[in-house]
A and B are shown apart, each in its own frame.
Chain A
Amino acid sequence: MEALGLRDDLVDKTVAGHNTLQLIAFSIGEQTYGVEITTVREIRAWNGATPLPNTREFVRGVINLRGTIVPIFDLRARFGDGQTSPTKNHVVVVMSVGDKWVGILVDAVSDILTVSRDDIHNVPEGNSIDTELLNGIVTHESRMVGLIDLHAVVSGAKIDG
């Protein structure tokens, strides 16, 4: 444990400096969102998914990820903007949430950002979907990047009853 902690420190110092965070940033329309780079497993082009019955609109279905079945969540739909009409240029970001792997459908992956932890702000209080699904907001070169709360995004996927 101790050794691992030490190594993390080293990585931070050499690659990104102290107290910083690396994010994968992706866009949905005009809006930019980010997730911590360590949770991202791979990024792949959209290639269709098999729809899952009895699930909410934002569940696009399941795909085959080298023999494992992985659900795909439509982030636009999750934010209540209706389903994405995906093209071959749309991107699925495969991430790990707890011990599960999930894919998030986004318009494009835009950047890898290094931000300071001190620059992460709390999401303003409110009861919009946005605030429920974000862990925080960070400003990067005058752009506002919403930090995605993956656990929240994948919850409530099933239609009950």
Chain B
Amino acid sequence: MSDLDDFKATYFDECSELLTELEEQFAAIEAGERDAGRLNAVFRAIHSIKGGAGAFGFSALVGFAHAYETLLDYVRDGRIEMSDDVVTLCIRANDIVADHVKAAQTGEALPADYGMDEKARFDALARGESVAEDEEGGEPLEEFDIEFVPVMVHIEAAEDETHESDAFEAAPMAFEPGHWEIHFRPHQALYARANDPLLLFRELAALGEMSVRAVIGEIPALADFEPFAVYCSWEITLISPSLTEAMIREVFEFVDGDCDIAVAQLGGGLAPLDVAPAQSLPLEPGLSDLLALADDEVEALLDFALESAPVAEPAESVEEAPEPSFAALAETIKPSAPIAVARVPVEALKPATPVPESEDGERRNVGVQSIRVDLDKVDRVVNMVGELVITQSMLTQQMDETLRARYTELVRGLEVLAQTTRGLQDSVMAIRAQPVKSVFSRMPRLVRELAQKTGKKIKLETIGENTEIDKTVIEQLSDPLTHMIRNSADHGIEAPDLRTARGKADTGTIRLSAEQAGGNILIIVEDDGGGINRERVLQVARDKGIVAADVNPSDEQIDQLIFAPGFSTASEVSDISGRGVGMDVVLSNIKKIGGSVHVRSWTGKGTRMTLRLPLTLAVLDVMLVKVGGSPYVVPLSSIVETIQCSRAAFERVPSGGKVLQVRGEYVQVIDLAERFDMLTETEADNRFVVLCEAEGSHKVALIVDDIIGQQQVVIKSLEENFERVDGIAGGTILGDGNVALIVDVQGLKTTIMHKTAA
């Protein structure tokens, strides 16, 4: 039971990946990349979803996926043109597939007719094209309607001799064209991936008249039976005048690499395949080629075949039949599966066992191998590596000059340790890194829907979607991004006529980009809409008491107000978003993962929202400083430069605050000792300024007593055992075991802003 649950969980994991893949593919297809590669990828994804769904008995999903697949197949054949309408229909179909998957996962039932309209449209599309030019083209469609009527499979009972001769009577069919012989031998991996040969047979049965025979000669005595070994292979005869090899291969596409497949067309004059197959295989040149038997094996087989000739004699084959126990055993094991007489001597079957096609074998080796790992396990490793990095840097720091001179071996060892640690850290981080594509790919659809709902014309551009970022960060990114894009589409981009009136193109653009900037990832959502209506925002903020009546915030501060909790310009609330509703959620979500949000707006030109996210949540590059005798660390990513202090450089502004002039620019000064209420014993002129860039363009100068150096730290939570402290982003443990606090540059700046504003 739990095994099945595990399989299901894996299947749903895969489904979510495949659905993401579908989104990606269709984003590209929409953009005009309508090549066969994309289409094949889509086809494979749908096919995989269908395959698993069949194994678990999600029949509604199978039904819809099958119809969809048929349509895709027609598009692939060129019978249906990949027009915009078809693309739109496919995108809708993806949603339906996703809904079906979700329903299967949650166990909720969808309406019985869910997706039927689309299914009917597939139908119509396919028929419209095919009936006109090709009578047969329409046939598979008719067929898919009845696809889930139980498929008749010819079962040839093992122990019954008369069936033998029945099969023989069928043999003359082999001389007709369109008569195919398939040898299908699954590997263990096929079952491990929860595939069921029965589904493949059903699919084959849809292609023509089929008979299936199981080759069970390899099934050992019960005592030797290994439950997970694969003993069974199948021979399938398939008859249909229009059948091509490609059509057959396609059925097996999904299990490609997990089984051995031999497909051959039966011409005239061949020994009927009904005869012990392993003997007849080498006699049939096509099959032996396909199986790529080793030369000596072929020879051995030929010898065998000659010795036992005439193999085709029915009487002969009956004599060769194995003890009935095999068949009986087979029947008990798999009573529902098609069973045929196993008349194949065990030694003769051997060559038919996997002698992988060399090409095939290579492909399997080249393919990316992966395992699924519980994220918790990776996290544990990441944490441990973090601690290791810190211990290593502590060791290095404690090596003073005398020790260095004395223990050169030790120094060398430490250097190697440093290198290995760094490498280990990078590798561990890489395990969790994922391209932001997985989130970005959901956005085109969102924009499309928003455009439809709002009646606007919106185009989405994505840049840097291969930028990699920690998986835990990515998971937290989807909601904020959705909110931001909704916000841009709903409030940023103007209606087409207004845009034209403002002299802009009637189609608005939302640009979504990701880039790595030092130890951070910047994700920017930018639109070329009307910008934030500051008057209204300020008015609402005043009405709600977020900003006092006598305070005049700067433009930048007003823009930032849309992130204030409870802020919403009520008059603008729509069913899509209310600016403010959700934006405070954006802020809190992003803060939770150690990031920050900044918004800038240009009236009439657009709005840009910047998310700054840490590359990883585990290790931070910092500058270690001292303030009032206590260690503090400032994230290196926010530091612009450090300056030796000079009292003369500070000037007081009327509000009582200090500013520092740095190359012609006035920068707000925060004396950390003062701010943190600590006593500093350092002389004023011996102190240092750490110039930081908080979110946005504004810089802030932090005065510290001493700068100690750079290092890496593991972020520890202060809230775990205490509570959040203003101006402090968390804590970390230094090499000497002491705790250092992490300065929250952005937080300091905002509290100062509030203080001056209040």
Contacts and interface: CB of A to CB of B under 8 A. Distances in A.
A102 B740 contact: no
B738 A48 contact: yes
Contacts of A158: 723, 725
Contacts, number: 71
Nearest to A101: B721
Contacts of B741: 50, 52-53, 62
Chain A CB count within 10 A is highest, among B628, B677, B739, for: B739
A53 B738 contact: no
B721 A52 contact: no
Chain B contact residues: helix, strand, loop or mixed: loop
Interface in A56-105: 61-64, 67-71, 100-102
A67 B716 contact: yes
A106 to B, nearest CB: 18
Nearest to B728: A53
A54 B721 contact: no
B678 A64 contact: no
Interface in A8-57: 48-55
B631 A50 contact: yes
A68 B716 contact: yes
Interface in A119-161: 157-158
B717 A69 contact: yes
Given A50-B738, A64-B739, A68-B716, A157 B676 contact: no
Given A50-B738, A54-B676, A62 B723 contact: no
Interface residues of B, number: 26
Contacts of B726: 53-54
Interface string B724-757: 0111100101000111110000000000000000
A64 B733 CA distance: 7
Given A62-B739, A158-B723, A67 B728 contact: no
B387 interface: yes
Contact of B720 (A52, A54, A68): A68
Interface residues of A, number: 22
A52 to B, nearest CB: 6
Contact of B722 (A48, A64, A67, A100): A100
Nearest to A48: B738
A153 to B, nearest CB: 13
A100 B631 CA distance: 24
A69 B737 contact: no
Contacts of A63: 739
A85 to B, nearest CB: 16
Contacts of B387: 67
B721 A68 contact: yes
B283 interface: no
Nearest to B386: A67
Given A48-B738, A67-B387, A69-B739, A53 B727 contact: yes
A157 B631 contact: no
B453 interface: no
Nearest to B714: A67
A52 B725 contact: yes
A69 B738 contact: no
A64 B725 contact: no
B675 interface: yes
Contacts of B722: 52, 62, 69, 71, 100, 102, 157
Contacts of A68: 716, 720-721
B394 to A, nearest CB: 12
B716 A69 contact: yes
B567 to A, nearest CB: 21
B723 A54 contact: no
A53 B677 contact: yes
B718 interface: yes
Given A53-B677, A62-B739, A100 B720 contact: yes
B675 A53 contact: yes
B630 interface: yes
Contacts of A48: 738
A54 B677 contact: yes
B723 A157 contact: yes
A82 to B, nearest CB: 17
Contacts of A71: 721-722
Nearest to B736: A64
B168 to A, nearest CB: 71
Given A50-B741, A53-B728, A54-B726, A69 B721 contact: yes
B630 A64 contact: no
Nearest to A65: B721
A102 B727 CA distance: 22
Contact of A50 (B675, B720, B727, B739): B739
A54 B723 CA distance: 12
Given A50-B740, A53-B678, A67-B387, A62 B727 contact: no
Chain A CB count within 10 A is highest, among B631, B678, B733, for: B733
A71 B719 CA distance: 10
Contact of A64 (B718, B727, B738): B738
Contacts of B733: 64, 67, 69
A53 B629 CA distance: 13
B386 to A, nearest CB: 10
Contacts of B731: 50, 62, 69
A71 B720 CA distance: 10
A52 B720 CA distance: 15
B718 A69 contact: yes
Given A50-B740, A69-B722, A157-B723, 18 more contacts: A48-B738, A50-B739, A52-B728, A54-B676, A54-B677, A55-B725, A62-B718, A62-B731, A62-B741, A64-B737, A68-B720, A68-B721, A69-B718, A69-B720, A69-B721, A100-B720, A102-B721, A158-B723
The 7 closest A-B pairs by CB, nearest first: A53-B676, A50-B739, A71-B722, A69-B731, A100-B721, A64-B733, A62-B739
28 contacts: A50-B739, A50-B741, A53-B675, A53-B676, A53-B678, A53-B726, A53-B727, A54-B676, A54-B725, A54-B726, A61-B630, A62-B722, A62-B731, A62-B741, A64-B738, A64-B739, A68-B716, A69-B717, A69-B720, A69-B721, A69-B722, A71-B722, A100-B721, A100-B722, A101-B721, A102-B721, A157-B723, A158-B725
Interface of A: 48-55, 61-64, 67-71, 100-102, 157-158
